[in-house]
Every structure is written in C-alpha cells, then in structure tokens.
Amino acid sequence: MVPGHDNLFFANPYGYAFSEITASRMLICDFEGRVIDGEGQPEVTAFYIHARVHKQLPRVKAAFHTHMPSATALCLIEGPPLLWLGQTALKFYGRAAVDEDYNGSGDR
C-alpha cells in the first residue's frame, strides 16, 4: 500500500525481470488497475492477486507472492504424474519424480 492512502498500492510494471525492478520503476495503481503514477502497465496476473488482497484486507500493508520452483512443482501434483500446467513447471519436465509409495513415515 502507498503510505497514507487506503486505495492505492505499488505494483511491478509489465515487461521487466525481477532484477530490473527498482523503486523508481514501481507503479502506483488504484484497485481498478488505473496507473496513478509511473510508466507502463501493471503485470496483469500479479495486479489482480494484489488488488484483491489489499481491497479485501485493508489491514494488510504489504503482500508478496513468489514463484519458487520447487513450490510450483509441488502445487501441480494431482496424483501421478505431475501435471505440466504452466511454463514455470516445465523446467522440471523429465527431471522430477513422484514417490508413489511414500506413506508419510521417515523410517521406511
């Protein structure tokens, strides 16, 4: 959220790698997606996640989400085999295995 404003928040602009994002490149957006300050447009999927969080939970002043590779792969498990539902998960194609016999015990 932008300090002092309950209806504005910061968002990354579309088209930049995370390593290219600086404070001066951040956009200030309202909940409808209008850019109030900054150049560019907000990255759409991230915008909708963050806009909804901030609008529904005004007490939340900062919200982050990540695309950790291992977490992404685990989120796509719906029983064997892994589901390759997005390009982020494809980095694991042919490199990930599912232990179909694991029973939760560490002393097998």
The DSSP line for the chain is --TT-TTEEEEPBTT--GGG--GGG-EEEETTS-EEESSS-B-HHHHHHHHHHHHH-TT---------HHHHHHHT-SSSS----STTGGGGTTT----TT--S-S--
- Residue 1 belongs to a domain: no
The number of distinct structural domains making up the chain is 2
pLDDT per position as a tens digit, 4-62: 998 999 998 999 887 898 999 999 999 988 999 999 999 887 788 888 888 888 888 88
The pLDDT score that the predictor gives to residue 95 is 75
The verdict on 12 and 46 lying in the same domain is: yes
Q: How confident is the model at residue 107 (pLDDT cuts 50, 70, 90)?
A: very low
- Residue 103 belongs to a domain: no
The pLDDT score that the predictor gives to residue 25 is 94
pTM above 0.75, yes or no: no
Q: Is the pLDDT of residue 79 over 70?
A: no
Q: Which domain holds residue 71?
A: 67-97
